[in-house]
Amino acid sequence: MAKPKVFEKPTGLKDYLPDAVAKLRQIERDVLSCMSGWGYEQMITPTLEYYDTVGVASSTSDAKLFKLLNHRGQTLVLRSDMTAPIARVVSSLLKATDFPLRLSYHANIFRAFEEEAGRDAEFFQTGVELVGDPSPEADAEIVALAVASLKAAGVSRFKIAIGHVGFLKGLLDETLPDQEEEQSQLKACLLGRDYVGYREQLRQLSLEEHVRQELEYILRLRGGQEICEQAMKLSSNESAQASIRHLCEVWDALVEYGVSEHVLIDLTMIGDFSYYTGMTFEGYASDHGFPVASGGRYDNLLSQFGRPAPATGFAMKTNRILELLSYGEDTGGERVLIAYDRAGRAEALAEAQRLRAEGVTVVTERMGIGFTPPVQANGCYKYGGTVYSDFHRFDGQKRKEAASNE
Amino acid sequence: MAKPKVFEKPTGLKDYLPDAVAKLRQIERDVLSCMSGWGYEQMITPTLEYYDTVGVASSTSDAKLFKLLNHRGQTLVLRSDMTAPIARVVSSLLKATDFPLRLSYHANIFRAFEEEAGRDAEFFQTGVELVGDPSPEADAEIVALAVASLKAAGVSRFKIAIGHVGFLKGLLDETLPDQEEEQSQLKACLLGRDYVGYREQLRQLSLEEHVRQELEYILRLRGGQEICEQAMKLSSNESAQASIRHLCEVWDALVEYGVSEHVLIDLTMIGDFSYYTGMTFEGYASDHGFPVASGGRYDNLLSQFGRPAPATGFAMKTNRILELLSYGEDTGGERVLIAYDRAGRAEALAEAQRLRAEGVTVVTERMGIGFTPPVQANGCYKYGGTVYSDFHRFDGQKRKEAASNE
Which domain CATH number covers A350?
Answer: 3.40.50
Peptide bond into A100 cis (omega under 30): yes
- Whether B249 and B319 share a structural domain: yes
The secondary element (H helix, E strand) that includes residue B164 is strand B158-164
Find, among A341, A354, A359, the residue nearest to A397 by Cα.
A341
Kindly report the nearest CA distance between residue A182 and chain B, in angstroms. 32
Spatial contact of A312 and A319, defined as CB atoms under 8 Å apart: no
Are A197 and A219 in contact by the 8 Å Cβ rule? The answer is no
**A299 with A339, same domain?**
no
CA angle in degrees (0–180, nearest 5) for A290-A296-A297:
165
Residues in B closer than 8 angstroms to A46, CB to CB, are 9-10, 13-15, 122
Which residue from A327, A323, A262, A247 is spatially nearest to A292, judged by alpha carbons?
A323
Q: Is residue A149 part of a domain?
A: yes
* Closest among A66, A188, A51, A82 to A115, alpha carbons compared: A66
Residue B330 within a domain: no
Residues B120 and B163 in one domain: yes
- Same domain, residue pair A303 and A391: no
- Domain of residue B390 covers 335-405
Same structural domain, A316 and A377:
no
CA distance B226 to chain A (A): 21
If we measure between CA atoms, which residue out of B204, B261, B268, B195 comes closest to residue B231? Answer: B268
CB-count burial class (<10 Å; 0-12, 13-18, 19+) for B72:
exposed
* Nearest-CA distance A403 → chain B (Å): 23
Rounded to 5°, the CA angle A122-A124-A125 comes to 130
A104 bridge partner residues:
A42, A128
Specify if A9 maps to a domain: no
- Could you report the per-residue pLDDT of A325-377, keeping only the tens digit for each? 875 555 567 999 999 999 999 999 999 999 999 999 999 999 987 788 999 98
- Within 8 A of B46 by CB-CB distance, chain A residues are 9-10, 13-15, 122
CB-based contact B381:B391 (threshold 8 Å)? yes
Q: Looking at B272, B305, B324, which one is the last position of a domain?
A: B324
Determine contact, residues A131/A99, Cβ cutoff 8 Å: yes
Asked whether residue B4 is assigned to any structural domain, the reply reads: no
**A69 occurs within a structural domain:** yes
Those of residues 140-199 in B touching chain A at CB distance below 8 A are: 141
- Rounded to two decimals, the pTM is 0.92
Domain boundary among B324, B352, B386: B324
Q: Residues B17, A273, A118, A4: is their CA dihedral positive or negative?
A: positive
Helix orientation angle between B136-152 and B18-37, rounded to the nearest 10 degrees: 150
**Residues in the annotated binding site of B for L-histidine:** 81-83, 111, 125, 129, 275-276
CA distances from A329 to A65, A325, A387, B45 (A): 37, 12, 12, 21
Determine the residue among A43, A44, A388 to mutate to test chain B binding: the one whose Cβ has the most chain B Cβ atoms within 10 Å: A44
C-alpha angle A365-A368-A373 in degrees, rounded to nearest 5: 60
Among all residues of chain B, which has the CA nearest to that of A123? Answer: B46
Q: What are phi and psi of A319, to 5 degrees?
A: -60, -40
Give chain B positions within 8 Å (CB) of A44.
Answer: 15-16, 20-21, 24
The verdict on ipTM greater than 0.90 is: yes
Facing B43 at nearest CB: one of A17, A102, A256 = A17
Scanning B192-261, the segments in alpha helix (DSSP H) are: 195-204, 209-217, 226-234, 238-257
pLDDT band, residue A32 (cuts 50/70/90): very high
Peptide bond into A46 cis (omega under 30): no
Residues B223 and B310 in one domain: yes
Q: Nearest Cβ partner of B256 from A345, A363, A365?
A: A345
Q: Does residue A3 lie within any of the structural domains?
A: no
The C-alpha atoms of residue A50 and residue A73 are separated, in whole angstroms, by 11
CA gap A248, A280 in Å, rounded: 13
Furthest-apart CA pair in chain A: how many Å? Answer: 108
Domain membership flag for residue B10: no
- Report the 10 Å Cβ neighbour count for A204: 10
Residue A124 and residue A76 share a domain: yes
- Output the domain CATH number for residue B286: 3.30.930.10
Domain boundary among A324, A348, A376: A324
Do A315 and A339 share a domain, yes or no?
A: no
B59 and B191, same domain (yes or no):
yes
Per-residue pLDDT of chain B (406 residues; tens, 9 = 90+): 567 888 899 988 999 999 999 999 999 999 999 999 999 999 999 999 999 999 988 888 888 999 998 888 899 999 999 999 999 999 999 999 999 999 999 999 999 876 666 778 999 999 999 999 999 999 999 999 999 999 999 998 999 999 999 999 999 999 999 889 999 999 999 988 899 999 999 999 888 898 899 899 999 989 998 998 898 888 888 999 999 999 999 999 999 999 999 999 999 887 777 889 999 999 999 877 789 999 999 999 999 999 999 999 999 999 999 988 875 555 567 999 999 999 999 999 999 999 999 999 999 999 987 788 999 988 899 998 789 999 999 998 887 778 777 6
Q: Is the same domain home to A349 and A283?
A: no
pLDDT for B1 equals 56
Instruction: Kindly state whether residues A288 and A388 are assigned to the same domain.
Output: no
Q: Element (H or E) spanning A313, and its range?
A: strand A311-317
Sequence ranges of the binding site of A? 81-83, 111, 125, 129, 275-276
Q: Which residue of B has its CA nearest to A71?
A: B113
Q: How many distinct structural domains can be found in chain B?
A: 2
Q: A342 to chain B: which residues are within 8 Å by CB?
A: none
Q: Positive or negative, the Cα torsion across A25, A31, A37, A43?
A: negative
Confirm if A303 and A124 have CB atoms less than 8 A apart.
Answer: no
| Residue A345 to residue B41, Cβ atoms within 8 A | no
A and B: number of Cβ contacts within 8 A: 250
pLDDT at A1: 56
CB half-sphere exposure, A195, CA atoms < 13 A: 10
For A167-217, write each residue's pLDDT tens digit. Answer: 999 999 999 998 899 999 999 999 888 999 999 999 998 888 988 998 999
- Residue A87 domain flag: yes
Clarify whether residues A347 and A315 are in a common domain.
Answer: no
